[in-house]
């Protein structure tokens, strides 16, 4: 079954872009997912095919027209009724690995890419559209954010990642940053690979990796650490390990 992605954009030439290469590109060739870029301008109704207008109340830039956006959304929804519609905007809810997992397990996605100052707010009252941000910085348009979201989803589709289990230990899947990695040579630049990784003791290695992941998360991402610790306290399986943590 193909996971269908549709992107509504003023720059359809930006797609598939990097997603036509590597893992995602191969998966697309195999029919695991599909990508259709739809030109927003095709839904303009006036003779100048305008998609934007000046902001009400004044100010810089231009705003995408709600009527044009609605026509594009309705047209795509007619062919992809089960795919959620997401608008890429720095005003949106921050994208998380949990949401990515849900989207990848669903019926595909329809992504709306903004340019200029943004969308006429009335589109969000008139249509079922989820506003999504990929971080606290401003991009020149939603297209690169759409590529990010699609990359994160596509790699989770069945058969896309080389080893099916390699996703389970990685950063953010368990609410922690992933442990650090090493490979040969055993000594490089006078620096040796941590001895435990050469011990062959798999239980000891697993314990070391968990400890490193926890230490790095606490240091680098106190926000994630806070959530991880409070989730552990609440879950019965984590209660024992939580006591150990309090002693340290
Ligand atoms: Cl989703 N879109 C745009 N235009 N800028 C962003 C963003 C999205 N997320 C962070 N900055």
| Pocket test residue of 90, 91, 136 for ligand 1, highest count of atoms within 8 A of CB | 90
> Within a 10 A sphere around the Cβ of 69, how many other Cβ atoms?
25
Predicted confidence band of residue 152 (pLDDT cuts 50, 70, 90): very high
pLDDT at 165 over 90: no
pLDDT at 227 over 60: yes
Q: Are 120 and 64 in contact (CB under 8 A)?
A: yes
Q: Are 108 and 4 in contact (CB under 8 A)?
A: yes
% of the chain exceeding 90 in pLDDT:
86
Residue among 111, 133, 135 at smallest CA distance from 7: 111
**What pLDDT score does 166 carry?**
55
Averaged confidence pLDDT in the chain: 93
Helix/strand/coil (H, E, C) string of the chain?
A: CCEEEEEEECCHHHCCHHHHCHHHHHHHHCCCEEEEEEEHHHHCCCCCCCCEECCCCCCCCCEECHHHHHHHHHHHHHHCCCCCEEEEEEEEEECCHHHHHHHHHCCCEEEEECCCCEECCHHHHHCCCEEEECCCCCCCCHHHHHHHHHHHHHCCCCCCCCCHHHHCCCCCCCCCCCCCCCCCCCEECCEECCHHHHCCCHHHHHHHHHHHHHHHHHHHCHHHHHHHHHHHHHCHHHHHHHHHHHHC
**What pLDDT score does 173 carry?**
79
Q: What is the mean pLDDT of residues 171-193?
A: 95
Residue among 124, 123, 146 at smallest CA distance from 133: 146
Q: Are 209 and 179 in contact (CB under 8 A)?
A: yes
Atom from ligand 1 closest to the CA of residue 139: 5
**What pLDDT score does 174 carry?**
87
Q: Are 74 and 80 in contact (CB under 8 A)?
A: no
**What pLDDT score does 128 carry?**
98
| Pocket test residue of 9, 62, 89 for ligand 1, highest count of atoms within 8 A of CB | 89
Comparing 237 with 52, the larger pLDDT belongs to 52
**What pLDDT score does 248 carry?**
36
pLDDT in tens, 183-222: 999 999 999 999 999 999 999 999 999 999 999 999 999 9
**What pLDDT score does 197 carry?**
98
**What pLDDT score does 246 carry?**
42
Residue among 120, 114, 51 at smallest CA distance from 88: 114
**What pLDDT score does 245 carry?**
45
Atom from ligand 1 closest to the CA of residue 145: 1
CA of 222 to the centre of ligand 1 (A): 24
**What pLDDT score does 188 carry?**
98
pLDDT at 117 over 80: yes
Q: What is the mean pLDDT of residues 120-132?
A: 98
Residue among 143, 38, 141, 153 at smallest CA distance from 95: 153
């Amino acid at each position: 079954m193909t996971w269908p992605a549709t992107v509504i954009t003023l720059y359809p030439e930006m797609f598939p872009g990097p997603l036509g290469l590597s893992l995602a590109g191969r998966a697309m060739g195999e029919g695991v997912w599909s990508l259709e870029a739809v030109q927003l301008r095709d839904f303009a109704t006036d003779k100048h095919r305008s998609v934007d207008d000046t902001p009400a109340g004044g100010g810089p830039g231009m705003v995408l027209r709600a009527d044009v956006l609605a026509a594009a959304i309705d047209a795509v929804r007619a062919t992809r009724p089960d795919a959620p519609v997401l608008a890429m905007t720095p005003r949106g809810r921050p994208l998380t690995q949990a949401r990515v997992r849900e989207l990848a397990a669903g019926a595909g996605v329809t992504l709306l890419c903004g340019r200029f100052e943004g969308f006429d707010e009335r589109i969000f009252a008139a249509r079922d559209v989820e506003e999504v941000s990929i971080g606290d910085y401003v991009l020149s348009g939603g297209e690169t954010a759409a590529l990010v979201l699609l990359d994160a989803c596509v790699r989770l589709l069945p058969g896309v990642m080389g080893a099916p289990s390699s996703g389970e230990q990685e950063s953010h899947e368990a609410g922690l940053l992933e442990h650090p990695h090493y490979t040969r040579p055993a000594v490089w630049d006078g620096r040796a690979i941590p001895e435990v990784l050469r011990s062959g003791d798999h239980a000891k290695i697993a314990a070391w990796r968990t400890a490193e992941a926890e230490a790095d998360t606490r240091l680098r991402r106190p926000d994630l650490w806070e959530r991880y610790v409070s989730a552990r306290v609440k879950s019965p399986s984590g209660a024992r390990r939580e006591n150990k943590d309090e002693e340290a």
